[in-house]
């Protein structure tokens, strides 16, 4: 084991394949609603959803606003009447069963677990959805130190309080033993900076790093996390 003892993993697009899950969820939801969908529909929803989540991260809107606004905006842009509650219920139900993982995710978690690292999940997703997807993915059992979901604990990334809550729950005495691992500069890395924790940016898209939000490490793929952790 390297210098770190506690590893706080983001889920979506770090370990779980959210793009694939989202596509399946949106397509299935539109089918149940009897509304024609296409790749364009999925892409439109994805863009709207991402913009809403970014506003949530910045503290501009609430979690409930995300769920409501994204459906209203989608309905307006498609020119199709969509009931917010009906869409949300069907979408959450479908999404919660999508357990697709990214390549090497299981191998990575297994290797780290075998080496004695204390693994925890730290996500901004909805409780029912993230819990269901973790179970469906088969990786839930690796997070023996806890699964921390913003909707459940009432705190969110990138706020320092989100990470402080996790550290207090885990009984962490030394922040230098903690590493935050995630794919989002605005959520995971900014949150780690705010909480004064080391971070590993899983940069699968080759994003440029802003001057005001530097991760401690950059991993070009999940395999690189192995060396970051000192294995």
What pTM was computed for the model? 0.94
For residue 181, what is the DSSP state? E
Query: What pLDDT is stored for residue 212 in this prediction?
Result: 83
- 198-202 vs 118-123, strand pairing mode: unpaired
**pLDDT band per the 50, 70, 90 thresholds, residue 211:** confident
**Annotated catalytic residue: which of 12, 17, 183, 198?**
12
| 6-17+100-228: CATH, from 3.40.50.410, 3.30.465.10, 3.40.50.1000, 2.60.120.200 | 3.40.50.1000
| CATH 3.40.50.1000 residue spans of the chain | 6-17+100-228
Which residue bears the tokens 């989608």?
74
Of the candidates 72, 94, 96, 107, the residue with the CA atom closest to the CA atom of residue 26: 94
The pLDDT score that the predictor gives to residue 147 is 98
Q: What is the mean pLDDT of the chain?
A: 95
* Token code pair at residue 228: 């970051």
CB 136 within 8 A of CB 98: yes
- Residue 210 confidence class, pLDDT cut points 50, 70, 90: confident
CATH code for the domain defined by 18-95: 1.10.150.240
Q: What percent of the chain has pLDDT over 90?
A: 91
pLDDT at 56 over 90: yes
Range(s) of the chain covered by CATH 1.10.150.240: 18-95
pLDDT tens per residue across span 24-48: 999 999 999 999 889 999 999 999 9
pLDDT score at 1:
61
pLDDT tens per residue, range 60-110: 999 899 999 999 999 999 999 999 999 999 999 999 999 999 999 999 999
Q: How many CB atoms sit inside 10 A of residue 152's CB?
A: 15
Question: Is residue 39 flagged as an active site residue?
Answer: no
Which one is catalytic: 10, 183, 188, 198?
A: 10
DSSP code per residue over 182-222: ES-IIIIIHHHHHTT-EEEEE-TT-PPPPTT---SEEESST
Q: What is the largest CA-CA distance in the chain?
A: 55
| Model confidence band, residue 180 (pLDDT cutoffs 50, 70, 90) | very high
Active site residue 224: no
Choose the weakest-confidence range: 78-87, 152-161, 166-175, 208-217: 208-217
> What are residue 65's DSSP bridge partners?
none
């Amino acid at each position: 084991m390297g210098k770190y003892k506690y590893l706080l993993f983001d889920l979506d697009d770090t370990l779980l394949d959210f793009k694939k899950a989202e596509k399946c969820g949106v397509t299935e939801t539109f089918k149940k609603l009897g509304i024609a969908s296409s790749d364009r529909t999925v892409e439109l929803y994805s863009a709207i959803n991402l913009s809403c989540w970014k506003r949530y991260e910045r503290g501009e809107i609430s979690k409930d606003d995300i769920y409501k606004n994204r459906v209203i905006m989608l309905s307006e842009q498609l020119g199709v009447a969509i009931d917010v509650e009906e869409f949300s219920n069907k979408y959450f139900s479908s999404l919660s069963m999508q357990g697709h993982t990214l390549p090497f995710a299981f191998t990575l978690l297994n290797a780290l677990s075998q080496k004695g690292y204390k693994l925890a999940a730290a996500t901004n997703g909805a409780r029912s959805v993230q819990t269901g997807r973790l179970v469906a993915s088969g990786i839930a059992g690796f997070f023996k130190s806890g699964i921390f979901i913003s909707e459940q604990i009432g705190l969110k990334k990138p706020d320092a309080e989100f990470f402080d809550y996790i550290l207090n729950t885990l009984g962490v005495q030394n922040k230098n033993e903690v590493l935050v691992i995630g794919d989002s500069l605005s959520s995971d890395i900014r949150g780690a900076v705010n909480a004064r924790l080391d971070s590993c940016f899983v940069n699968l898209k080759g994003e440029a790093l802003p001057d005001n939000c530097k991760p401690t490490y950059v991993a070009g793929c999940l395999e690189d996390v192995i060396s970051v952790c000192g294995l």
